[in-house]
Chain A
Amino acid sequence: SYELTQPPSVSVSPGQTASITCSGDELGEKYVCWYQQKAGQSPVLVIYQDDKRPSGIPERFSGSNSGNTATLTISGTQAMDEADYYCQAWDSGTAVFGAGTKVTVL
């Protein structure tokens, strides 16, 4: 079965840039989306189709996808961005999630 690999955790200082990677075989050939999940809440879509931001998502969130790696970048990270982030792609008609990355804003 298809797997997406994310680092378990990323730490970032306020105002700095956080980069979260998501790796999978030929992932660049698939669309990737990213979800933010704050503690005790349901997931919120922050990036879809690799690099598109839904309405209401701040411009500091951006995405890219090439080769075997997709990346979610949070520029000028704020304390409110502390959350778990999940990448997701489709493979053979099945939605596959990465295990999630906990972003800590120190």
Chain B
Amino acid sequence: QQQVKQSPQSLIVQKGGISIINCAYENTAFDYFPWYQQFPGKGPALLIAIRPDVSEKKEGRFTISFNKSAKQFSLHIMDSQPGDSATYFCAASGYGGATNKLIFGTGTLLAVQP
């Protein structure tokens, strides 16, 4: 059972454009929503994360938008650059941090064309 659904599976964006990746979750007990970035041959690395007490978090060109009522969150990459080309995973965790188990989405392969 996929508790975190991610779309699209792949995305091609022109340099300077906006990349948008969406995720939806089912479990209302989740209270931590990170995005991980993975380059080829590397392990995933935390990019940005949000908690449900805010609707948006911005770090540089990366923004998470969070809609608690819809149980959805999305990653926006502004002014996308070729160096942003990577696989992006959304995830969710919760239960008050007691377990810290991350439930990952299926990933989005982003290609930013120069």
Instruction: Answer yes or no: do A and B interact.
Output: no
- Chain B residues within CB distance 8 Å of chain A: none
